[in-house]
Structure 1
Amino acid sequence: MKKQMSGITLASIYIGTVIGAGFASGQEIIQFFVRYGKLSILGIFVATILFCILGVKLLQIVYSKKINRLEDFLYLYFKRKTIIFINIWLIGLLFVTFFIMLAGSGAIFKEYFQIDQLYGIIFMAFICFIVLITGVNGIAKANILLIPFLIIIICYIGIYVVYNNTFIFSQLAPDNIFKISEFSLDLNSLIWLGSAILYVAFNSISVIVVFSSLRSLIVEKKCAVYGGVLGGVGLGLMALLINLSLLILYNDIVGLEVPMIAIASTVGYVSKRLYSVVLLVAMFTTAIANGYGCVLRISNLLKINEKITSLLVCCISVPMAALGFKRLVTFFYPIFGYIGVLFLAALIIKGKKMN
């Protein structure tokens, strides 16, 4: 039972780290997958495999190399001077991801709960601060409690939409959906494959930061495999269902800031409200994961108390988040995706040299 709980805990944290506002809202899925039409299904299949490999490999390294913090992981691959540069870059990445989650929560509060966007952002920042000061144990407990609810609702909405629109989905043929200008469906192109790799690469950075502090939760090496595969498959399943829902109802949601809420509303009023909560949960779990990583990096680099750093990060993020969720996702995510590819390439090259 202890081994099973270890795997489930690791998978929950894995999913919670990745499935943030962009994922659950549908914006990330549109940006990296839906735009390629039916080929997006292949892209998600590839991304799922890569997520499984990434999760297993990272957790195994953390366990076997006895890694307790990110610096321990980086020292395996890079020199001290390089690590200083990487730390500065990671602070930027984690901080941006954190305030994008806050921006998403503001959009949800404004559009679906009729609460001013700024108040929504401030509320989410405050809740994140409370969890951040509790450390990795608080983050683990939050994910174990919230992720099952998130998975159940996303799967229910996705399955409902696909099941009740099987005819529409069957009509997604060259004479229909391929004509939509937003979709790039050149079968001779492998852009969809590159986009899938880019998506995993972007998310991998946050995963590395979070996983490097989870050694105490890995009971044995098999738990690393279980947690990595379960987390990767869970992410792939939810991405697939969201992707199919967006493909089927694309004409109804194009241009919306939070498209999955519109899709949930087709199921019913209760589903719409539930999915609004799902989005807030997704934003919260990813925000605390990235926020905690950012706090650790700043605290370690500048030798500042973690609680004070948590307060500073949350306060500074509020005005940044006010810039708007969709604008931030569109601008920052592809950029960090490309940088993530370079970072992973460096890890692979260094790893081969070490072997």
Structure 2
Amino acid sequence: MLLNLAHRAQVSNYQSLLTYILGEKLGIVVDFLLAIFLFLGISTMLSASGAVFYEHLYLPKTIGIFLAYLLVGFFLLSGKKGMIYSYNFLVPVKLILFLLVSGYAALFFDRTYLEMNTVVISSHNIRSWGIASLLYVAYNFALAMVVLIEYQSVTARRDGVIGAVWGGIILGILVMLNYTAMFKFLPAVLEYEVPMLYVAGKISIPAKLVYTLMLWLGIITTAIAYTYGFAQRLSNFTGLKYGLCLIMSITLALPLGMQDFSILVGRIYPVFGILGVFILAGLIGKSAQDIGKEIYYNIGQLWNAPRR
């Protein structure tokens, strides 16, 4: 839907798309809010990288933060081309690692030797799962919009649709494998914030390291999306060169990135999700409007054809 609308409107950046689906005035307001969250997202992902190094690799947090800082800057120095190349390289690697661990746990791991666990499930968490899921989907969509819209200028409309279909199929398979793998470890996995890290650790230490690497690559790709979106927006707004805005963006995000990851996530992501819901609703509404106009036009053409 997103790429189809981008090709229809011939837009190749998220600012133009927001204007197209929300109108000029409302689009400017949402663009401003989204830019703020993109900057906060850079800090959050830097903090997340530090948390992975500290909590799972038992290395200093600052190493994870500055390594993410350097990699994001390296991949994005060439602008859109660097962003696309980084995703074309990192995302397949991430999916392969995910498939190896989740596939093995789901299809081959023997649950005979698993210990028994008792877990208390909070009724509050059960009641709020629907809202949490909606906000999570909307947040990820808002982030995906920043990245995917850049592919409009380098892909044909048909290729975009085919890519979206195959992407959905692959993600669906991965979700099923992930669910099957975690189901084997119920209820123990309910005690962990990253359940698949627990599952990978039960397979072997190397498996846990592989999954940790996959998790960290996911953080890096997300940081790339945040940084590219904000640096590109800052460059357009100020007239400064993109490279300078890139360095400014990730450098200014460093102090906040030193803060605790869980605090940043708890305060930033829910609000970002609400903004994503608003953007997603606008996209669906605009797509439905365009499809309705096209259907009305085609019906009119068929109705008038016999009279000619």
Compute the TM-score of the two structures, normalised by the length of structure 1: 0.72
Aligned 8 A contact 2:45 2:219 in 1: yes
Q: Does 1:303 align with 2:247?
A: no
Which of 98, 103, 127 is the aligned partner of 2:42?
98
The residue that corresponds to 1:201 in the other structure is 138
Higher Rg of the two aligned structures:
2
The residue that corresponds to 2:53 in the other structure is 109
Aligned 8 A contact 1:257 1:326 in 2: no
Structure 1 residue 251, shift from structure 2 partner: 4.9
The residue that corresponds to 1:38 in the other structure is none
Give the whole-Å Cα distance in 2 for the aligned partners of 1:64 and 1:128. 31
Give the whole-Å Cα distance in 2 for the aligned partners of 1:79 and 1:64. 16
| Residue-by-residue CA offset, 1:4-56 (whole Å, 9 max, x unaligned) | xxxxxxxxxxxxxxxxxxxxxxxxxxxxxxxxxxxxxxxxxxxxxxxxxxxxx
Which of 283, 289, 297 is the aligned partner of 2:219?
283
Letter in 2 for 1:311: I
Give the direction of change, closer, same or farther, for the CA distance of 1:152–1:216 in structure 2 (3 Å limit): same
**Counterparts of residues 25-44 of structure 1 (less than 5 Å):** none
Structure 2, unpaired ranges of 5+: 294-308
Aligned 8 A contact 2:2 2:283 in 1: no
Q: Does 1:226 align with 2:162?
A: yes
| Residue-by-residue CA offset, 1:245-283 (whole Å, 9 max, x unaligned) | 445435545554544333211111211221221122111
Letter in 2 for 1:181: I
The residue that corresponds to 1:9 in the other structure is none
| Residue-by-residue CA offset, 1:100-147 (whole Å, 9 max, x unaligned) | 222221112123333210221012112101112211211222222222
Give the whole-Å Cα distance in 2 for the aligned partners of 1:162 and 1:102. 31
Which of 199, 216, 223 is the aligned partner of 2:153?
216
**Counterparts of residues 1-355 of structure 1 (less than 5 Å):** 57-163=1-107, 164=109, 180-182=120-122, 192-218=129-155, 220-249=156-185, 251-254=187-190, 256=192, 258-352=194-288, 355=293
SS of 1:75's partner is helix
Letter in 2 for 1:73: L
Give the whole-Å Cα distance in 2 for the aligned partners of 1:276 and 1:66. 39
Letter in 2 for 1:214: Y
Give the direction of change, closer, same or farther, for the CA distance of 1:240–1:320 in structure 2 (3 Å limit): farther
Give the direction of change, closer, same or farther, for the CA distance of 1:244–1:324 in structure 2 (3 Å limit): farther
Letter in 1 for 2:122: E
Give the direction of change, closer, same or farther, for the CA distance of 1:180–1:246 in structure 2 (3 Å limit): farther
Structure 1 residue 221, shift from structure 2 partner: 2.3
Query: How many percent of aligned residue pairs carry the same amino acid?
Result: 26
The residue that corresponds to 1:172 in the other structure is none
Please, what is the CA RMSD of the aligned residues?
2.9
SS of 1:297's partner is helix
Aligned 8 A contact 1:168 1:248 in 2: no
Q: Which has the higher contact order (CA 8 A, sep 6+)?
A: 1
Structure 1 residue 310, shift from structure 2 partner: 0.9
Aligned 8 A contact 2:4 2:157 in 1: yes
Give the whole-Å Cα distance in 1 for the aligned partners of 2:265 and 2:174. 19
Give the direction of change, closer, same or farther, for the CA distance of 1:96–1:238 in structure 2 (3 Å limit): farther
Give the whole-Å Cα distance in 2 for the aligned partners of 1:317 and 1:185. 32
Letter in 1 for 2:103: I
Give the whole-Å Cα distance in 2 for the aligned partners of 1:72 and 1:263. 43
Aligned 8 A contact 1:162 1:245 in 2: yes
Letter in 1 for 2:173: L
